[in-house]
Every structure is written in C-alpha cells, then in structure tokens.
C-alpha cells in the first residue's frame, strides 16, 4: 500500500500535527509518541516498529471474529462492485439490508422482529431515545419522556448519548445536558455493597433504586429504563443475578419500556447472540454496533420490539434516518460475519469453554496477587480490580495511575489491555483458545508483578 513508503517518524509527525484523537490527552500523547498500528492477523496486531501485540481488547470490544478475515474483505469487495451505495429512504431497499434484517430478527429474542440501522452505537442510541419517546407520543402519552439510566453507563458520545450515559467526566464537559435523563446507582457490588450485604441483596437494592426513581418522577412521566446488561466502558460491572429479573418486574409494573444497550455484549461476547438471552432479559429495544461486523465496517442498529414497531409502522411517517442507514457494504460484511460466528461455533465455545476457562485461569494465576481486589467475568469479558490493600479494598491515589501502570507494562510485554479507572479489562476476540488465554494470563501476571514493584517504590 502507498503508505508503506512512509517512516514511523513521518507518520507520527503527520498525526501529531493534524489528528485530534478521541478520548485523548494530546499533550501526553504527543510527548510520548503515538504508536502506529500497521496491520493485524488473527489475535495479533503489529506496529510500525515491528512489535507483535496480543489484542486483549478485540480492537475496542469489537473484533469478535479476529483480524485478517479474507471472507469479510471479499464480501465488502463484491458488494462495492455490485452496489456500493444506495439509500433506503424512498421506497427502496437492497438485498444485503433485507437479508441482514431477516437474519438479525431470527437471532433476536422472539418479541423482536424489526431493525433500524445507523453507523455507530451513539447514533443508534439516539435512534432508540427518539423512538421510545415517539412511541409514547403516538400512544397518546406524550408526557412519558424521562429515561432512567445508571451512573457509569456508557451509551456513546453524541449529546443525547452522553446525557443518557452516566460518565461524570463527560457530563462535566457537555455544558447543559439534554433534559429528561435521571441516573441511579450502578449495580456494582464490589464498591457499593454494604458490609455484610449479600450479592443478591445488593442486586435487589440496586434495582430498588430504579423503582424509587420511577416513583419520584411519577410513572406517568417515565418512558423507559436503559442499561447495558454488563457495564462495559464503565469497568465490566456485572450485576448480581437478582438484578435484571427485578428490573424486569419493576418495568412491567409501571409500564416503563426496557431499552438494552448491547453495543458491547451483542454478537457472542457473553456466550449467546445477545446478553438478554444469557441473563433472561425481555427488552423492548436492543442497540447493537461493534461486533455486528466484527468492526470490519461501521454499522449499528436498534432492534425494535413488536410493541413499539407495530405502533411506529401504523402511524404515518417517522421523520428519522441517516444517509448510511442500512449501508449495503456494511450489511454485506455483517451477513458474512454472522456466518463466521455461526459456522465456527464461536458462541458455544465462549459459553462452554473459553469463557469459563478465562475466569478460572485468571483467578488461579492472579487471584492471590496483592494488587488484585477482585476478578469477575462473564463470557469473554473480564474485569480485574486493582487495589492498594486487598483486605480493606483501599485504592491507590488517582495520581498513582495504578491501573494505567499495569496496562502500560502489559502492552510493553505484548498484550493490549484497557484500564478504566482502577479496573483492568479484557474483552478479546472470540477466536481465543485456551492456549491464547494461557499466554494472556501470563502477560497479565508479569505486568502485575512489575507494576507492584513500581508502585511500592
């Protein structure tokens, strides 16, 4: 490719001078030098300096089928030659979007049969917000507008998605947030359970916070509750088993819709096509993105339950849509990606083999490490709490950047990991085998050991 003729220094200089990165402190980045990732294959990414790095984050929670899949490249190539673009606005469709919609409807929970597309998770969460509010207006209850969300939720970076999300730092930079969002506690037992409170009791208490918020706003004003089945960017927060059934009960009781954000959990990560299935959730909408194409093309969607879809489809025109709603190339890649996940039995493998093994292996190898406060996992998602004192759960000072240090040592010794606050994250491609997990856990252990020495000093 043409850019092979550029040196690392030239690429870094171009990037430093002209590229504003997402979620980045540019002074820090530019003083350290940006890593130029040039290619990837299977489970590994490679940089311009020749480093080979095991990707413990599947890109950004998305490359579920792994890198270098020719089948996906060919699907894109063939579709581009055949029909590179056409819109789906004006009484037209195309084969890829029609067939993908059918396929997704078959994989989704039984009450979900319709799909509305976007190009990013943020965009589709905006769609979901507009759609539930529009639904209530069509049902003659336009005052049902409030959406209840949680602290530490991540739903995206558009103004609506940030307002709905529960990231304090993002709210701080937003100016006035959009009205109509209420935030309650996250189901995060490790930090929020009280002494002596069981996980199950804590789960019920966290769900009760939702009921309290509904009562405070008045059920007649509440459109929906929204949540990620497992909070991802908020730190792989896995709710106790009592949480979702209770949320479900509360939503039914007050006729509050249930919006589920499966941008991370969708398409296999939890050992089912959707975490709703793993966790027994009956949603009214599911937002997906990322792994629907394994990140090979930008594509997202809102899967819309019959209750909403029937009202929406029988009440005139809904003034909403994006140029790239149902982009043919993205849809063709999504179909080929779903074929791969299905053909290779990746979901079964996550559920029965690699998911349980990842958790078991992490607990066995680093569970007793003095820096590790807790290890939790579900499917191929894992979170590791970094603490100063295991017994008291005392944290390091934020200025110590403890998890950041562990992450940096992990990357330097050959594995991409993510640090969210004081939590280390793994969210690898679903093609990891037990051997890949052994390799990953060894790197994580070494990174913890090196970080422990540094943090003691």
* Residue ranges binding ligand PXG (CB under 6 A): 60, 120-122, 125, 154-156, 228, 232-233, 261, 263-264, 289, 418
CB 156 within 8 A of CB 165: yes
Enumerate the β-bridge partners of residue 423: 385, 420
Q: How far is the CB of 154 from ligand PXG (least distance, A)?
A: 5
Q: By beta-carbon distance, which residue lies closest to ligand PXG?
A: 121
Cβ neighbours of residue 363 closer than 8 Å, sequence gap 6 or more:
375
Residue-level length of the chain: 457
CB-nearer residue toward ligand PXG: 235 or 328:
235
CB of 60 to ligand PXG, least distance (A): 6
Q: Which residues of 409-436 are buried (b: 16+ CB within 10 A; e: fewer)?
A: bbbeebbbbbbbebbbbbbbbbbbeeeb
CB 69 to ligand PXG: min, Å: 20
- Beta carbon of residue 153, minimum distance to ligand PXG (angstroms, whole number): 8
Smallest gap from residue 169 Cβ to ligand PXG (A): 12
Q: Which of 399, 391, 392, 359 is nearest to 376 (CA)?
A: 359
Nearer to ligand PXG by Cβ, of 122 and 294: the residue is 122
Cβ contact 238:383 at 8 Å: yes
Nearer to ligand PXG, 75 or 164 (CB): 164
| Minimum CB distance to ligand PXG smaller for 45 or for 452 | 45
Helices (H) and strands (E) in the chain, counts: 18, 15
Q: Which residue number, 227 or 271, has a Cβ lying nearer to ligand PXG? A: 227
Nearer to ligand PXG, 211 or 261 (CB): 261
Cα gap 365→359, rounded to integer Å: 10
Q: How many CB atoms lie within 10 A of CB 262?
A: 30
Q: Shortest distance, CB of residue 362 to ligand PXG, whole angstroms?
A: 19
Provide the minimum distance between the beta carbon of 156 and ligand PXG in the complex, in angstroms, as a whole number.
Answer: 3
> How many C-beta atoms surround the C-beta of residue 198 within 10 A?
12
Using DSSP, state whether 190 is helix, strand or coil: helix
CB 85 within 8 A of CB 323: no
What is the 3-state composition of the chain as percent helix, strand, coil, each rounded to the nearest 5? Answer: 45, 15, 40
State which residue, 128 or 189, has the beta carbon closest to ligand PXG.
Answer: 128
Whichever of 145 and 427 has its CB closer to ligand PXG, that residue is 427
**Residue 425 C-beta: closest distance to ligand PXG, Å:** 7
């Amino acid at each position: 490719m043409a850019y092979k003729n550029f040196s690392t220094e030239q690429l870094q200089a171009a990037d430093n001078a002209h590229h504003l990165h997402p979620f980045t402190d540019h002074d820090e980045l530019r003083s350290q030098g940006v890593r130029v990732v040039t290619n990837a294959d299977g489970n590994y990414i490679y940089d311009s300096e020749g480093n080979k790095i095991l990707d413990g984050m599947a890109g950004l929670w998305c490359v579920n089928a792994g890198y270098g899949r020719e089948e996906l490249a060919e699907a894109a190539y063939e579709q581009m030659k055949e029909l590179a673009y056409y819109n789906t606005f004006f009484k037209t469709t195309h084969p890829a979007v029609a067939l993908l919609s059918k396929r997704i409807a078959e994989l989704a929970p039984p009450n979900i049969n319709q799909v509305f597309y976007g190009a990013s998770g943020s965009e589709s969460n905006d769609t979901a917000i507009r759609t539930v509010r529009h639904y209530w207006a069509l049902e003659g209850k336009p005052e049902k507008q409030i959406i209840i969300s949680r602290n530490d939720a991540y739903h995206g970076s558009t103004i609506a998605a940030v307002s709905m999300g529960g990231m304090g730092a993002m709210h701080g930079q937003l100016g006035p947030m959009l009205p109509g969002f209420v935030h309650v506690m996250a189901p995060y037992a490790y930090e929020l359970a009280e002494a002596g409170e069981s996980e199950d009791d804590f789960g019920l208490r966290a769900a009760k916070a939702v009921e309290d918020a509904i009562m405070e706003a008045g059920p007649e004003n509440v459109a929906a509750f929204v949540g990620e089945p497992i909070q991802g960017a908020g730190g792989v927060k896995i709710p106790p088993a009592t949480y979702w059934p209770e949320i479900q009960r509360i939503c039914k009781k007050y006729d509050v819709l249930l919006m589920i954000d499966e941008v991370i959990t969708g398409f296999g990560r939890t050992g089912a096509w959707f975490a709703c299935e793993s966790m027994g959730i009956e949603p009214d909408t599911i937002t997906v993105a990322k792994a629907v194409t394994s990140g090979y093309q930008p594509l997202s969607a809102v899967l819309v339950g019959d209750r909403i879809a029937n009202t929406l489809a029988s009440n005139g025109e809904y003034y909403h849509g994006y140029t790239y709603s149902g982009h043919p190339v993205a849809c063709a890649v999504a179909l080929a990606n779903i074929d791969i996940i299905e053909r290779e039995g990746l979901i079964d493998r996550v559920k029965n083999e690699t998911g349980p093994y990842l958790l078991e292996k992490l607990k066995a190898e680093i569970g007793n490490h003095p820096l590790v406060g807790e290890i939790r996992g579900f499917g191929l998602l894992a979170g590791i709490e970094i603490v100063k004192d295991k017994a008291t759960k005392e944290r390091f000072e934020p200025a110590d950047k403890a998890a950041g240090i562990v992450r940096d040592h992990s990357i330097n010794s050959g594995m991409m990991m993510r640090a969210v606050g004081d939590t280390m994250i793994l969210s690898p491609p679903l093609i990891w085998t037990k051997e890949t997990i052994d390799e990953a856990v060894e790197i994580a252990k070494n990174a913890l050991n090196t970080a422990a020495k540094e943090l003691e000093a």
